[in-house]
Amino acid sequence: MQAPYEATLLRIFVSNDGPYEQIALEAREMKLAGTTVTRSIMGYGPAFAELPSAPSQVEENSIIVEIVDTDEKIKEFLPILDRMIDSGLVYTQKVLVVRAGRKAKDSA
């Protein structure tokens, strides 16, 4: 296993009709280490006019985009992200990466 190293997690909450695909594609274009897009089951916040009445109303819930890379590369991405989103929650946090990538296959 590789030695753990410090990285930064950028987490972005946007509405279902937000630019989550554009965010992920731009992160890929900038060769950021990794991006995952997840659809929430239920949620509320300033980006939504009303609380969903049932968890089945997924189309009204947020999309979460998570990007992990060095602090420097995440900071370079923030101004680009700011131009892409009108509303949503964006935050960063320090994380300890204990494994990234695939295990090497034994050649024996």
Q: Is the pLDDT of residue 47 over 80?
A: no
Quick check: 100 and 34 in contact, CB under 8 A? yes
User: How far is Cα 37 from Cα 40, in angstroms, rounded to an integer?
Assistant: 10
Predicted TM-score (pTM) of the model is 0.81
Q: What is the number of alpha carbons within 13 Å of residue 75 lying toward its C-beta? A: 5
Look up residue 89 and give its two tokens. Answer: 């929650």
Between 100 and 67, where is the model more confident? 67
Q: Does 54 have pLDDT greater than 60?
A: no
**Residue ranges per domain, the chain?**
5-97
Q: Distance (Å, rounded) from C-alpha 26 to C-alpha 13?
A: 16
Identify the architecture of domain 5-97 in CATH. Answer: 2-Layer Sandwich (3.30)
Q: What is the pLDDT of residue 100?
A: 72
pLDDT (tens digit per residue) in 5-32: 999 999 999 988 889 999 999 999 999 9
Distance (Å, whole) CA 85 – CA 18: 7
pLDDT in tens, 59-97: 567 899 999 999 999 999 999 999 999 888 999 999 999
